[in-house]
């Protein structure tokens, strides 16, 4: 009778937002959307044209069309190298694709560009692709190093998983970006391995070149299998992140 007379009240939008902020659920969610809206949605639709132009001038470099994508590295440790050549000596910078210039947020002629890399496999065969880290992971790493953020290493791992899953879902629903990207999520083993990263990328390149059909991530035809150990991308809390605005 008491329960019927005084039914439990659902948390208000403001209370839900506050709980979400305290549990840090909105961090990765916001970073993923910002990364997509402020960068990937701008550059990915232009990528195929840039690859085509480069291939015409250098016909022997980008031989496999299925790899004409931006390969986005998502290390769950959030440990990012500014120089990929220092991360793995089998990865060497080749050149940059043509620049894309846009006026954004008051910045005149803002430049966006992608770097091509040469990746050497165990048989000394050379592969080429556009590859870069998902830069928002640097923010997650920096937060875990700053006492003011009160962001533990466990929080960082949870948020890295949520970032990957959110970004994957966003890109799968984007018609403009279909077939222009490849997400490479990985968790480095505890053992020292100087060529772990190059093998991880090579596994994705090999698979793209040898698949029976071209993979279009937006159609969800195929989920790439990871070349290293299978990742556990389950996050500890099943509740979906709440909107950043409390008045939604």
pLDDT at 1: 62
How far apart (Å, rounded) are the C-alpha atoms in residues 111 and 100?
6
Average pLDDT over residues 57-83: 93
pTM (predicted TM-score): 0.78
Q: What is the mean pLDDT of the chain?
A: 81
Other Cβ atoms less than 10 A from the Cβ of 74: the count is 22
**What are the residues whose beta carbons fall under 8 Å from the beta carbon of 58, sequence distance 6 or more?**
none
Query: What is the number of alpha carbons within 13 Å of residue 190 lying toward its C-beta?
Result: 0
Q: What are phi and psi of 85, to 5 degrees?
A: -65, -25
Is 80 exceeded by the pLDDT of residue 123? yes
Which sequence spans correspond to the domains of the chain? 20-208
φ/ψ of 15, rounded to 5, equals -65, -40
Q: What pLDDT score does 4 carry? A: 62
The predicted pLDDT at position 220 comes to 41
For the CA atoms of 173, 176, 179, 180, what is the dihedral angle to 10 degrees? -120
pLDDT at 23: 47
CATH superfamily of 20-208: Stimulator of interferon genes protein (3.40.50.12100)
């Amino acid at each position: 009778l008491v329960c019927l007379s005084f039914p439990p009240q659902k948390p208000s939008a403001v209370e839900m937002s506050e709980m979400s902020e305290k549990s840090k659920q909105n961090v990765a969610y916001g970073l993923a959307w910002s990364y997509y809206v402020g960068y990937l949605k701008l550059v990915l639709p232009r990528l195929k044209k840039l690859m085509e132009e480069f291939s015409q001038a250098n016909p022997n470099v980008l031989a496999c069309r299925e790899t004409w994508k931006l390969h986005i590295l998502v290390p769950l440790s959030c440990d990012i190298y500014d120089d990929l050549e220092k991360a793995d000596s089998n990865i060497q910078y080749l050149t940059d694709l043509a620049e894309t210039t846009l006026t954004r947020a008051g910045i005149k002629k803002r430049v966006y560009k992608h770097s091509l890399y040469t990746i050497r496999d165990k048989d000394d065969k050379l592969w080429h692709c556009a590859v870069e880290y998902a830069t928002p992971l640097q923010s997650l790493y920096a937060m875990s190093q700053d006492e003011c953020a009160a962001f533990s290493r466990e929080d960082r791992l949870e948020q890295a998983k949520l970032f990957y899953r959110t970004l994957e879902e966003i890109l799968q629903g984007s018609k403009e970006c279909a077939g222009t990207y490849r997400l490479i999520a990985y968790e480095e083993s505890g053992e020292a391995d100087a060529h772990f990263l190059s093998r991880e990328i090579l596994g994705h390149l090999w698979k793209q070149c040898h698949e029976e059909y071209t993979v279009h991530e937006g159609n969800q035809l195929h989920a790439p299998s990871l070349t290293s150990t299978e990742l556990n991308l389950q996050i500890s809390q099943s509740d979906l992140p709440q909107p950043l605005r409390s008045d939604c």
